[in-house]
């Protein structure tokens, strides 16, 4: 089936395009390239043996662009909505940009989808919508809200908007996927994550330190109540995450209404676990120093993925070594990302 993939040139979107094509689907990508490079789609074509991936450069907030897309592709069956701004720290300093981009894109998209009778959407949500006072592991029924930054609130608010749309019109099918910590890259090393500037997230920081672009990793806090004092997270291989979207797209075809699923592995690793695993998997050194805790960080966060396993028939296949090996394969083959 034809699937509109907003944000499809980005990190998770490009990996999802590969998995969609390999499952026999046809992605059409809409992206304004504000945080990505269209070279990713050439690489997707290279991996999958396709000639080209249909691509429209445009802003999802712009309803005229969306009309053009749906007019040109009247056989789109569903939408996977990745497009969004995602840097937590930036969202604190530029809240308006985040609320405008992330909320308006979701609302414009749904308005236009409705006009063309396309009422199936998968939304990129995040574990950040869970309230910090939950017991671990996090279940889909765990408490949400009390977000610690505007980025998290945009995800929380988009979830609510989509939930209300599904409630108002029973023909809608809305799947909210709450991602834990996506890491790694396609095993070919052709596509991966290349953050602009200094990486905020742990894994790209580790890779860039290993390759010498950063002098050392700062480990944010070693006095948490965890097995080694450093923060524990549920890291998930991006290819597993991408396959979760294919499972959700199939599920959506005969499950109207709103559904929410965690996409995580259910296993938590600490910062130092990840550093050691990366060093051992790749035979490299990752120098680090212990730094103060980062504001807003939790000690521990990991998923209960049972509902995804039972209802989507999906579970993560890749382990920590795969994540570290594939992250390094991408980083070492593409030290400057998609820039030559």
Chain contacts with ligand UDP (rule: CB under 6 A): 181, 200-202, 205, 217-220, 231, 233, 271, 294, 297
How far, CA to CA in Å, does 200 sit from each of 16, 21, 87, 306? 22, 31, 8, 29
* Residue placing its CB nearer to ligand NAD in the complex, 34 or 291: 34
| 8 A C-beta contact, residue 109 and residue 63 | no
- Sign of the torsion formed by the C-alpha atoms of 56, 58, 59 and 65: negative
Q: Which of 94, 123, 93, 92 is nearest to 107 (CA)?
A: 123
Nearer to ligand NAD among residue 23 and residue 33 (C-beta): 33
Pick 126 or 329: Cβ nearer ligand NAD: 126
Contact string (CB under 6 A) for ligand NAD, positions 24-63, x = contact: -------xxxxxx----------------------xxx--
Going from the C-alpha of 328 to that of each of 41, 192, 217, the distances in angstroms are 21, 10, 16
The residue to which tokens 């199936």 are assigned: 120
Minimum CB distance to ligand NAD, residue 185 (Å): 12
Active-site residue flag, 179: no
Instruction: Give kind and range of the element (H or E) at residue 105.
Output: helix 95-115
Of residues 151, 251, 269, 338, which has the active-site annotation? 151
End-to-end alpha carbon distance in the chain: 34
Q: Which of the choices ligand NAD, ligand UDP, none does residue 297 contact, using the CB cut-off of 5 to 8 A by kind?
A: ligand UDP
**What gap in Å lies between CA 317 and CA 310, rounded to an integer?**
15
82 binds, among ligand UDP, ligand NAD, none (CB under 5 to 8 A by kind): ligand NAD
What is the x/- site pattern for ligand NAD, positions 295-334, by CB under 6 A? ----------------------------------------
- The CA distance from 190 to 239, in Å, is 13
Query: Which does residue 175 touch among ligand NAD, ligand UDP, none (CB within 5 to 8 A, set by kind)?
Result: none
The pair of structure tokens assigned to 85 is 């701004």
CB-nearer residue toward ligand NAD: 105 or 173: 105
Residue span binding ligand NAD (CB under 6 A) among the ranges 76-84, 136-144, 218-226, 283-291: 76-84
Q: Kindly list the catalytic residues.
A: 151
């Amino acid at each position: 089936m034809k699937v509109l993939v907003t944000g499809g040139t980005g990190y998770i979107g490009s990996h999802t395009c590969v998995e969609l094509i390999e499952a026999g689907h046809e992605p059409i990508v809409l992206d304004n390239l504000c945080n990505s490079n269209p070279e990713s789609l050439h690489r997707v074509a290279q991996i999958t043996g396709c000639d080209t991936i249909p691509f429209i450069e445009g802003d999802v907030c712009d309803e005229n662009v969306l009309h053009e897309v749906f007019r040109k592709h009247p056989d789109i069956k569903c939408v996977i909505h990745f497009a969004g701004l995602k840097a937590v720290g930036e969202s604190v300093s530029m809240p308006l940009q985040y609320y405008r981009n992330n909320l308006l894109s979701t609302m414009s998209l749904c308005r236009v989808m409705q006009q063309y009778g396309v009422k199936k959407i998968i939304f990129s949500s995040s574990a950040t919508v869970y309230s910090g006072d939950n017991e671990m592991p996090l279940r889909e029924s765990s408490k949400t809200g009390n977000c610690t930054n505007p980025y998290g609130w945009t995800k929380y608010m988009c979830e609510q908007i989509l939930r209300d749309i599904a409630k108002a019109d029973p023909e809608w099918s809305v799947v909210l996927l709450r991602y834990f910590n996506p890491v790694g890259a396609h095993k070919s090393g052709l596509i991966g994550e290349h953050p602009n500037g200094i990486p905020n997230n742990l894994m790209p920081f580790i890779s860039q330190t290993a390759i010498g672009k950063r002098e050392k990793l700062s480990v944010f806090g070693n006095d948490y109540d965890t097995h080694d004092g450093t923060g524990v997270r549920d890291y998930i291989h991006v290819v597993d995450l991408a396959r979760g979207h294919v499972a959700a797209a199939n599920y959506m075809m005969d499950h109207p209404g709103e559904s929410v699923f965690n996409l995580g592995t259910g296993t938590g690793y600490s910062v130092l676990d990840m550093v050691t695993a990366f060093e051992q998997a790749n035979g490299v050194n990752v120098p680090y120093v212990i730094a103060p805790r980062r504001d807003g960080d939790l000690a521990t966060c990991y998923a209960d993925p049972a509902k995804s396993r039972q209802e989507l028939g999906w579970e993560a296949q890749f382990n920590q070594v795969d994540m570290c090996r594939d992250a390094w394969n991408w980083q070492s083959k593409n030290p400057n990302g998609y820039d030559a």
